[in-house]
Structures are given as structure tokens and as C-alpha cells.
């Protein structure tokens, strides 16, 4: 189930985020303003701007998968300054996520996960995924959505959730 909670869901949500970037570009073009206004926007003075929210969403997805599968995560230099560069980052992370299989996550729930800022403390893979990684991913993705929405980009819940795998009853 770790594969579904990480690779499948993170890939889907990053795709939804990429589609939101397209709507942001269209909105700026339609309203005839520099899209950089959206990229630098934030919800509060002490919060990261839109660019950083997208970067952290991407970083959380790739580092979570890598940590749980006991692999190295690719690095991104955080130099994006445009919507197209952010889209390229999302696409590279999605491509990386698609390199995993469910076999990569065998034993992931019991694996000990740590981060430098945790000062030598650890979580099990299951604790890390459910109590840190998933909430962190959705926090930054939701904040990116909220920044665009707050600035007038026509987004709704369906843009955020994306397609659902409905089945006939």
C-alpha cells in the first residue's frame, strides 16, 4: 500500500499542480499582467512564496519515495523563476516517481527514517509517511493552490482533486 500512497497519489497530485500552472498562465495572459506576480505571491508575510511551495511539494514527493525505498533522491537547485521552469521540475519529479515499482517499498514501513533537522531522532517508515511526509506534501500543494485561488485564478476543488477513479455501482 506504500506504493499507492506515495507514487500513485503524489504523481496524480503533481499532475494536478501542473494543470494549475497552466490555468495561472492563462489567467495572467487574459488579465494582461506579468505572471511573475503570481510566482512571488504568498498568503502571509512569513510564508514561502508560490515558487517555493511548488519546489517543496516536488521535493517532498521525491524524497519521500527515495527514503522509503532506501534510494538516493535527485537534487534540484531551486533556481526556478518561471512557470515553464516549475512545470519542468514537476515533470522531472513525476518521471522519477514513475521509475519506482511496488517492489521498491518492501519493508518500507519498518525502515528507520531520519532527517538532519531531527537531530538524530528517527521515525519508522510508516510513521514518517503518515505523520510527516503526506501532511507536508499536501500542506505545500494546498498552499500553492490557495495562493493561486487567492489571486483570482479560476480554480476549484475539481482542479485540486483531479479525476477520481469512479466505478459503476
CATH of the domain at 61: 1.20.120.450
The confidence band for 77, taking pLDDT boundaries of 50, 70 and 90, is very high
- What value, to the nearest 5°, has the Cα angle with vertex 91 and ends 106 and 161? 75
Give yes or no for residue 1 having a pLDDT over 90.
Answer: no
Residue 106 lies in a domain: yes
Q: Which residue, among 127, 122, 121, has the nearest Cα to 109 in the 3D structure? A: 127
Rounded mean pLDDT of the chain?
A: 97
For 5-62, write each residue's pLDDT tens digit: 999 999 999 999 999 999 999 999 999 999 999 999 999 999 999 999 999 999 999 9
Which residue has better confidence, 169 or 26? 26
Mean pLDDT across the stretch 103-132? 96
Domain that holds residue 148: 2-160
Tally of domains within the chain: 1
Distance CA 114, CA 124 (A): 9
Kindly give the residue spans of alpha helices, DSSP state H, lying in 100-163: 125-127, 134-150, 157-161
Asked, for residue 22, whether it belongs to a domain, the answer is yes
Q: Which pLDDT value is given to residue 60?
A: 98
Would you say residue 99 lies in a domain?
A: yes
Residue 119 lies in a domain: yes
What pTM value is reported for the model? 0.96
Amino acid at each position: 500500500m506504500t506504493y499507492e500512497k506515495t507514487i500513485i497519489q503524489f504523481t496524480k497530485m503533481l499532475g494536478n499542480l501542473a494543470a494549475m500552472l497552466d490555468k495561472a498562465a492563462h489567467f495572467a495572459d487574459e488579465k494582461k499582467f506579468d505572471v511573475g506576480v503570481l510566482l512571488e505571491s504568498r498568503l502571509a508575510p512569513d510564508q514561502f512564496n508560490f515558487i517555493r511551495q511548488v519546489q517543496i511539494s516536488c521535493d517532498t514527493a521525491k524524497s519521500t519515495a527515495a527514503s522509503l525505498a532506501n534510494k538516493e533522491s535527485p537534487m534540484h537547485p531551486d533556481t526556478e523563476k518561471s512557470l515553464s521552469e516549475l512545470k519542468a521540475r514537476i515533470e522531472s519529479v513525476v518521471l522519477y516517481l514513475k521509475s519506482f515499482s511496488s517492489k521498491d517499498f518492501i519493508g518500507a514501513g519498518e525502515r528507520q527514517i531520519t532527517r538532519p533537522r531531527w537531530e538524530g531522532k528517527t521515525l519508522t517508515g510508516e510513521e514518517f509517511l503518515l505523520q510527516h511526509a503526506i501532511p507536508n506534501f499536501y500542506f505545500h500543494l494546498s498552499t500553492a493552490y490557495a495562493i493561486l485561488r487567492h489571486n483570482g485564478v479560476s480554480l476549484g476543488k475539481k482542479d485540486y482533486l483531479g479525476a477520481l477513479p469512479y466505478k459503476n455501482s
